[in-house]
Amino acid sequence: MSKTDEISQIEDDFATLAALAVGPTPESVRLMLAKLVRRYRITHPALAGRLGDALRTSQTRTAGHAVLRKASTSLMGNEDQLPVDADSRNSLIRIFDDLGGLDAPLLTPELQQGIDAIVRERKNRKRLESHGIPPTRSAILVGPPGVGKTLSARWIAFQLGKPLWVLDLTTVMSSLLGKTGSNLRAVFDHAKANEAILLLDEVDAIAKRRSDEADVGELKRLVTAILQEVDAWPATGLLLAATNHPELVDPALWRRFDHTFRFDTPVPELTEAAIRRFFRGSQEAFEEVIPLLSLALEGVSLSDVEKVVASLRRRALLENTDPVDLAMPLATEFAHKLDKKQRLVLALRLAKSLLPHETIRALTGVSRDTIRKYAGPSPVRAGRERRNEWQLDSS
């Protein structure tokens, strides 16, 4: 490559990275970084090193959970035994240690049963085996981001009194070219020896590399290595995988998992249950607006619901604002998307939740007379006059 080509390549990469950095998906930045680390490793080792540092920092930060630690402390015993990438000396495994306590994920009954069944099987593994019945060894968790895949894996581990080991494949992929296979083996060997619950997070990261033609040979070796490891996974441990992009996962890999758990965007009942849970403590103050919020947040990932609720709680406390005033703009945004008939349905639903008719009218544009006609008189709400800031355009 000529010097000019090289510079224009770097310019391109720089611009792409900038575009991704201001975009909505931090994950794409990490994938791009991983790719750049590989691209510049030989020609610009110092640059590759700095990009690699950035990638690793981003991983610790996005993980950002109090109980999440680099796999280096007491729980797993000897630090030296944990598999690390030979060159970066960085741990390839992250550990969720929820043994201090964890709320059950909010799931559909069907999913809940499937997950309970896995836990029951693990707890009764010896009994099953004494009857010649193999327990479930592996499962793949599929669904959009923020719906509880990682949380469910943590929950399973917690139920079994074990920490969850997470192998983030983006990290593995960014480790030295040609060593990915051996890194992977090191992790699996260690996990098997410890009868661990191992989660392969973002398994689709392997597939995403296909666009990177320089690495085709390496990719094939890696896929082969993973397939062999999944095949050889012993019944003593539990192997989980998670992906937001099932369409990118190699069918040969997919087939090897005993079970598939499908996580969908939350159904309304789950959204409401999640809102209640996330309001913990301040739920009472918000009771009246929970139905409004449930509507406004329908179909939103529970991880985002959690963020909205946290922000409302902070604002209610610091700005000393009426929760209804805080929730209304969200709900209004939602109501604007509805047609006239849907608004009537919404108005009557809200009337059942004992929201004052004036608030409902402001939100839905349905007249108080109409609401009263179907739902009876407005509940008395002591001492607080609702303002009409949320008047719906009469469209």
Residues that bind ligand ADP (CB under 6 A): 105-107, 145-151, 242, 274, 302-303, 306
65 vs 127, which CB is nearer to ligand ADP? 65
390: left (phi over 0), alpha (psi -120 to 50) or beta: alpha
106 vs 241, which CB is nearer to ligand ADP? 106
H or E segment at 244? none
150 vs 301, which CB is nearer to Mg ion? 150
Decide if residue 243 touches Mg ion (CB under 5 A). no
Give which of 136, 144, 221 is closest to 181, Cα–Cα.
221
Residue 153 Cβ vs Mg ion, minimum distance, rounded to whole Å: 8
Decide if residue 150 touches Mg ion (CB under 5 A). yes
Chain mean position to CA 116? 20
Report d(CA 33, CA 57) in Å as an integer: 12
Residue 265 Cβ vs ligand ADP, minimum distance, rounded to whole Å: 11
Stretch that binds Mg ion, among 26-34, 49-57, 148-156, 351-359 (CB under 5 A): 148-156
13 vs 306, which CB is nearer to ligand ADP? 306
Q: Which does 174 bind (CB under 5 to 8 A by kind): ligand ADP, Mg ion, none?
A: none
Neighbour count for residue 307 (Cβ, 10 Å) = 14
Contact between 112 and 212 under an 8 Å Cβ cutoff? The reply is no
Stretch that binds Mg ion, among 89-97, 120-128, 146-154, 288-296 (CB under 5 A): 146-154
Contact between 174 and 52 under an 8 Å Cβ cutoff? The reply is yes
DSSP string, 58-112: HHHHHH--TTEEETTSGGGS-GGGS-B-TTT--BSEEEE--TT--PPP---HHHH
In the numeric block, which tokens belong to residue 98?
Answer: 């929820």
Q: Which does 356 bind (CB under 5 to 8 A by kind): ligand ADP, Mg ion, none?
A: none
Write down the residue that tokens 């192997």 correspond to.
239
Residue 175 Cβ vs Mg ion, minimum distance, rounded to whole Å: 21
83 vs 146, which CB is nearer to ligand ADP? 146
Residue 125 Cβ vs ligand ADP, minimum distance, rounded to whole Å: 25
Report d(CA 114, CA 209) in Å as an integer: 32
Q: Which does 164 bind (CB under 5 to 8 A by kind): Mg ion, ligand ADP, none?
A: none
88 vs 150, which CB is nearer to Mg ion? 150
Burial of 257 (0-12, 13-18, 19+ CB in 10 A): buried
Contact between 118 and 137 under an 8 Å Cβ cutoff? The reply is no
Q: Which does 91 bind (CB under 5 to 8 A by kind): ligand ADP, Mg ion, none?
A: none
Question: Cβ neighbours of residue 231 under 8 Å, at least 6 residues apart?
Answer: 256
Tell me how many residues contact Mg ion (CB under 5 A).
2
Contact between 335 and 363 under an 8 Å Cβ cutoff? The reply is yes
49 vs 246, which CB is nearer to Mg ion? 246
Q: Which does 156 bind (CB under 5 to 8 A by kind): ligand ADP, Mg ion, none?
A: none
Q: Which does 223 bind (CB under 5 to 8 A by kind): Mg ion, ligand ADP, none?
A: none
Residue 297 Cβ vs ligand ADP, minimum distance, rounded to whole Å: 13
